[in-house]
């Protein structure tokens, strides 16, 4: 299953890159196309943050991950570099788990 | 003089994204990908947010369709960079086919910042090359490191993925213009749909959050 997903994602993502380079630039003249394309990653990334912080299969749970992401949010507010944000989140979650057993 | 500063910037961007590649390598292994599969993701998919979505959805128990769907929706923006840049870069044939794999956030941003075609081409090639090399090297290090560690939850690696998405989202939120509403709508849709749909599908559904912004304008 992982191999199939990996193959399809690789092929599809490459196709987007090639097709984009082959389209006429007039294609961007419609402001709605530009707006949707700019905002699509925002909606998806926000959904991924929410789903991966609180989702556990089909259940919504509040566990150590939420503490980790909360600390990450503070780090982001202070414009910490990417790796620091990720490391702080992981360390916080690990700490909460270690303390709560 | 300009050449040197372009290449220096490219190396700096490559090192910054390389650091983030370590996180991807670890996230891939934490999601159940082998080291080989994780490394092939970085070589072949080669667009960070899509790769994180791919391993994130599968790691959360989602199916291949939902994982690929999320990865493709996030990868669609690379097509937009291509449309904007193909005129300036001016490549055709095999050059375009090779350059396409390097059409990502970082290389596009660096090339778009240089209005003069020769500088734009150098910025694109040097940034794409430096990110490609360091991203893949970092993925290998992260994947091998995480394999050595064993249980990802002990190290809090399951919190690393959503934190990573948050860090990717942050610069877009600072742009303003209804972006916050779209993000909130996306997150709410994903959470509301979680109890009712298989893992990964709520995230796809959340892309409709974009309609909030498009309709209110």
| Residue range B12-71, pLDDT digits in tens | 888 878 777 888 998 899 899 999 999 999 999 999 889 999 998 999 888 999 999 999
The residue of A1, A25, A44 whose CB has the most chain B CBs within 10 angstroms, and thus the best one to mutate to test that interface, is A44
* CA A94 to the chain's CA centroid: 21
pLDDT over 90 at B127, yes or no: yes
pLDDT of residue B152: 66
pLDDT more than 70, % of chain B? 95
- Average pLDDT of chain B, as a whole number: 88
Residue B148: pLDDT band (50, 70, 90) is confident
pLDDT over 60 at B142, yes or no: yes
The closest alpha carbon to B101, from A18, A25, A78, A66, belongs to A18
A62, B75, B137 from B197: Cα distances, Å: 19, 23, 37
Facing A64 at nearest CB: one of B79, B156, B166: B156
pLDDT of residue A46: 93
pLDDT over 60 at B4, yes or no: yes
State the maximum Cα–Cα separation within chain B, in Å, rounded to a whole number. Answer: 58
The alpha-carbon gap from B8 to the nearest alpha carbon of chain A, in Å, equals 19
Contact between B194 and A39 using a beta-carbon 8 Å cutoff: no
CA distance B215 to B217: 5
Contact between A65 and B158 using a beta-carbon 8 Å cutoff: yes
Q: Which residues of A touch B190 (CB under 8 A)?
A: 46-48, 50-51, 55
Per-residue burial over A16-47, b = 16 or more CB atoms within 10 Å of its CB, e = otherwise: bbbebbeeeeeeeeeeeeebbbbbbbbbbbbb
Specify whether the CB–CB gap between B53 and A44 falls below 8 A.
Answer: yes
Contact between B58 and A5 using a beta-carbon 8 Å cutoff: yes
CA distance A20 to B76: 9
Token code pair at residue A90: 């992981």
Residue of B nearest to A80 (CA): B167
pLDDT of residue B91: 92
pLDDT of residue A23: 87
CA distance B160 to B154: 12
B76, B180, B183, B185, B206 from B212: Cα distances, Å: 20, 11, 10, 7, 11
Contact between A43 and B210 using a beta-carbon 8 Å cutoff: yes
Evaluated on CA atoms A73, A77, A82, A88, the torsion sign reads negative
pLDDT of residue B20: 79
pLDDT of residue B215: 67
Q: Let me know how many helices (H) and strands (E) chain B has, helices first.
A: 12, 0
pLDDT of residue A57: 81
Does residue B111 belong to the interface with chain A, where contact is any CB pair within 8 Å?
no
The alpha-carbon gap from B3 to the nearest alpha carbon of chain A, in Å, equals 24
pLDDT of residue B135: 96
CA distance B97 to B89: 13
- Measured at the CA of A99, the angle between CA A97 and CA A100, to 5 degrees, comes to 65
* CA B147 to the chain's CA centroid: 22
* Torsion, Cα of B79, B84, B86, B89 (10° steps): -130
Residue B162: pLDDT band (50, 70, 90) is confident
Q: Which residues of A touch B60 (CB under 8 A)?
A: 51-52, 55, 57
SS3 A29: coil
Q: Which residues of B touch A67 (CB under 8 A)?
A: 159
Q: Which residues of chain A fall short of a pLDDT of 50? A: none
Facing A21 at nearest CB: one of B40, B86, B167: B86
Q: What is the DSSP letter of B178?
A: S
pLDDT more than 90, % of chain B? 48
CA distance A5 to A2: 5
Q: What is the DSSP letter of A59?
A: E
- For B171-185, what is the mean pLDDT? 87
Residue B216: pLDDT band (50, 70, 90) is low
Facing B166 at nearest CB: one of A17, A49, A94: A49
Specify whether the CB–CB gap between B163 and A20 falls below 8 A.
Answer: no
Facing A44 at nearest CB: one of B44, B157, B203: B203
Token code pair at residue A30: 């419609």
CA distance B48 to B14: 13
Neighbours of B45 (CB within 10 A): 25
SS3 A60: strand
More confidently predicted of B124 and B177: B124
């Amino acid at each position: 299953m992982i191999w199939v997903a990996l193959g399809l994602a690789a092929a599809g993502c490459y196709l987007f890159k090639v097709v984009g380079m082959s389209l006429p630039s007039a294609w961007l003249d419609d402001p709605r196309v530009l707006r949707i394309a700019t905002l699509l990653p925002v909606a998806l990334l926000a959904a991924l943050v929410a789903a991966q912080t609180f989702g556990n299969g089909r259940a919504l749970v509040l566990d150590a991950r939420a503490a980790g992401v909360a600390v990450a949010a503070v780090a982001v507010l202070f414009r910490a570099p990417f790796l620091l944000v990720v490391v702080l989140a992981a360390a916080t979650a690990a700490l909460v788990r270690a303390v709560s057993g | 003089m300009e050449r040197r500063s372009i290449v220096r910037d490219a190396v700096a961007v490559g090192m910054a994204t390389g650091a983030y590649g370590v996180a991807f390598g670890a996230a891939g292994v934490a999601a159940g990908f082998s080291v080989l599969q994780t490394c092939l993701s970085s070589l072949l998919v080669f667009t960070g947010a899509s790769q994180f979505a791919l391993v994130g959805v599968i790691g959360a128990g989602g199916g291949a369709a939902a994982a690929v769907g999320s990865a493709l929706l996030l990868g669609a923006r690379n097509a937009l960079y291509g449309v904007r840049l193909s005129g300036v870069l001016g490549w055709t044939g095999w050059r375009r086919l090779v350059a396409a794999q390097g059409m990502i956030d970082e290389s596009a941003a660096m090339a778009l910042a240089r209005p003069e075609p020769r500088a734009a081409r150098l910025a694109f090639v040097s940034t794409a090359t430096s990110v490609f090399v360091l991203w893949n090297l970092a993925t290998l290090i992260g994947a091998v490191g995480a394999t050595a560690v064993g249980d990802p939850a002990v190290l809090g690696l399951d919190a690393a993925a959503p934190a990573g998405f948050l860090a990717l989202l942050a610069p877009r939120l600072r742009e303003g213009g209804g972006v916050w509403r779209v993000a909130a709508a996306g997150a709410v849709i994903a959470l509301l749909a979680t109890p009712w749909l298989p893992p990964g599908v709520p995230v796809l559904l959340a892309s409709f959050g974009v309609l909030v912004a498009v309709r209110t304008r």
